[in-house]
Amino acid sequence: MTQWQTGMESYLHPLMSPSGASAIVNTGLTILEHFFRYIPDKTVSVSIALIAVKYGFPLFEQELIHGGPDKARVRDNHTSPMILGALYIPVYLVFLTQEIYDFRSNWILWSAPWLVTLAGYARLKLFGPSDDTVYEAALARSARYGRALKPVEREPAYNFCRHLTFAMLVASSTFIVCLPLVLRNFSDVALNFLCVVYGFLLAAHIIHIAIAQNISVAKTE
């Protein structure tokens, strides 16, 4: 890497100062290093997520991506930039308080997302759909979800995850209630146990929804 850096700097020395050549070469090599280190795994992660949405949750794909039976593109209103801004607040506070990010020197960079958020809010507030339109569209999607899932509510595959979730809730509640009786320092064990159990319950609930949607789409087709 050092030989590459020295060679590229030697080509740039006739065109600019040594410090400028060194800065450009270092920046370019850093970008390449981060690209080959982080982009491939992020690309795979996004691909897996898209495949999971397409084949695991076909009703969500039909309604939220293709626009439902009318094929009308789903449009956001001004609440979407507000949610984005709320999600950015904790990150912004980290940039503001941690010395490593040097907020005084880089405040323009760390504050730039607020400009994008405010611009999106203003644009959607002026030209986006009204709150009543978005609310009616959400009610229509909810009604279509209900109609699509109602025929499969008694399917064994549909009920399996629901019964499993109920059994896990009963077992975990019993375990947590009895844990102080057998352990003196039970707080750490209880926290780890709850993280594992409720993480599993979340996965079971997602699988439950995916099974119901795929059964509904298969029956419709």
Integer Cα distance of 84 and 214 in angstroms: 31
What pLDDT score does 87 carry?
92
Domains held by the chain: number = 1
Q: Is residue 169 part of a domain?
A: no
What pLDDT score does 196 carry?
83
Q: Is residue 48 part of a domain?
A: yes
* Cβ proximity of 67 and 60 under 8 Å: no
Q: Is residue 84 part of a domain?
A: no
Q: Collect all residues with Cβ–Cβ distance below 8 Å to 145 and sequence separation of at least 6.
A: 59, 63
Q: Is residue 10 part of a domain?
A: yes
Integer Cα distance of 71 and 64 in angstroms: 10
Measured CA to CA in angstroms, residue 130 lies from 11, 109, 134, 216 at distances of 58, 32, 6, 32
* Cβ proximity of 92 and 124 under 8 Å: no
Q: Which of 80, 59, 60 is nearest to 218 (CA)?
A: 59
Containing structural domain, residue 4: 1-56
* Cβ proximity of 158 and 212 under 8 Å: yes
pLDDT by residue, tens only, the chain of 221 residues: 555 556 555 655 555 566 666 666 667 767 777 777 778 888 888 888 888 888 888 888 887 777 777 777 777 888 889 999 999 999 999 888 888 878 888 888 889 999 999 999 999 888 888 888 888 888 888 888 887 777 777 777 667 777 877 888 888 888 878 877 777 777 777 778 888 888 888 887 788 788 888 887 777 76
Backbone angles phi, psi at 186, to 5 degrees: -95, -5
Count of other CB atoms within 10 angstroms of residue 110: 17
What pLDDT score does 38 carry?
77
Pair of tokens at residue 161: 């995850």
Q: Is residue 47 part of a domain?
A: yes
Integer Cα distance of 39 and 46 in angstroms: 11
Question: If you write DSSP's letter for every residue of 34-85 in order, what string do you get?
Answer: HHHHHHHHHHHHHHHHHHHHHHH-HHHIIIIIS-TTTTPPP---THHHHHHH
